[in-house]
């Protein structure tokens, strides 16, 4: 069996996964708050090939075992992990009171050099806490502020936000006012390492260990809430399309290598074996 089969096959699988990831990014280029996925590709560990006890070297060394290094063999590549790019997207003005965006975000660097980030807190369908950057909110029939997919938006106490009507004001520091009084404050969570969050459907994230702390309690975290705006996706459609074409070409190149190995195997079995 040719070892190149494995290298070519791993290249095809990597190209396919990259193409799927980039296609998903492109499909969500107009989804508010969507964060583009990015993949890190890594090569499998190289193997050192050696040749043991060739007739010449064995005779020269008195029959003692000898090892001659031939060289290294790379066995292919794989996608090590896929992480979202949490850079802020551009803001678009909608003038809808239920649309809210996080803006002017300044985050401290953690000890490991990671850039933190902030998120709206929402209630999952199972009653847990999830996080999102999609501030394209709406109001249900009972007056609760919800996401476009039905998750309840939470306040700083972890409670759903219920309003009298859609005539309300959101201040830059997250307070929701009706009739000149504060009725709630948007729950904004701070993630010191956003890459530790698990990405779920509909642009939602979950913390793997407990709930995220409030962003209001960290003096180094700075942001404002902007009513009547939504944060656009941070997908660069032109760059994504270019990378998608590159992924397709990589897949096709490895496919041709695999076909070449297949033809060589065919000749070895059906032609050389007859001699």
- Model pLDDT for residues 62-83, shown as the tens digit of each residue: 555 555 665 666 667 777 788 8
Percent of the chain with pLDDT over 70: 85
Taking residues 175-196, report their average pLDDT: 93
Query: Which helix (DSSP H) or strand (DSSP E) does residue 218 occupy?
Result: none
Could you tell me the CA-to-CA distances from 147 to 10, 124, 161, 203, 205 in Å, in that order?
Answer: 40, 10, 12, 11, 14
pLDDT of residue 74: 62
Closest CA to 116 of 196, 185, 180: 196
Beta pairing partners, 214: 189
pLDDT of residue 122: 96
Q: Domain map of the chain by residue range?
A: 4-83+239-274, 90-231
pLDDT > 60? residue 61: no
The rounded radius of gyration (Å) of the Cα atoms in the chain is 28
Taking residues 141-156, report their average pLDDT: 93
pLDDT of residue 75: 65
More confident of the two residues 239 and 60: 239
In DSSP notation, 158-205 reads S-B-B-SSS--EE-TTSEEEETTEEEEEB-EEEES-GGGSEE-GGGEE
């Amino acid at each position: 069996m040719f070892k190149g089969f494995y290298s070519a096959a791993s290249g095809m699988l990597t190209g396919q996964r990259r193409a799927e990831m980039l296609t998903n990014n492109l499909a969500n280029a107009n989804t508010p708050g969507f964060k583009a996925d990015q993949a890190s590709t890594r090569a499998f560990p190289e193997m050192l090939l050696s040749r043991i006890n060739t007739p010449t070297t064995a005779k020269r060394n008195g029959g003692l075992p000898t090892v001659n290094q031939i060289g290294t063999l790379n066995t292919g590549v794989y996608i090590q992990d896929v992480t979202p790019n949490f850079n802020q997207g551009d803001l678009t003005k909608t003038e809808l009171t239920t649309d809210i965006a996080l803006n002017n975000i300044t985050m401290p660097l953690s000890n490991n050099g990671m850039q933190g980030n902030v998120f709206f807190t929402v209630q999952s369908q199972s009653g847990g806490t999830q996080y999102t950057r999609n501030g394209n909110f709406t109001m249900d029939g009972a007056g609760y502020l919800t996401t476009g997919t039905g998750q309840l938006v939470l306040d700083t106490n972890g409670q759903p936000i219920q309003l009298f009507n859609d005539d309300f004001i959101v201040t830059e520091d997250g307070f929701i006012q009706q009739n000149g009084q504060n009725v709630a404050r948007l729950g904004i969570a701070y993630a010191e390492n956003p890459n530790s969050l698990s990405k779920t459907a509909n642009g939602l994230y979950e913390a793997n260990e407990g709930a995220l702390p409030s962003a209001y309690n960290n003096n180094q975290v700075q942001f404002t809430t902007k009513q009547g705006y939504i944060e656009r996706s941070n997908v660069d459609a032109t760059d994504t399309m270019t990378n998608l074409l590159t992924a397709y070409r990589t897949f096709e190149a490895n496919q041709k290598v695999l076909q070449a190995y297949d033809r060589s195997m065919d000749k070895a079995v059906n032609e050389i074996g007859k001699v």
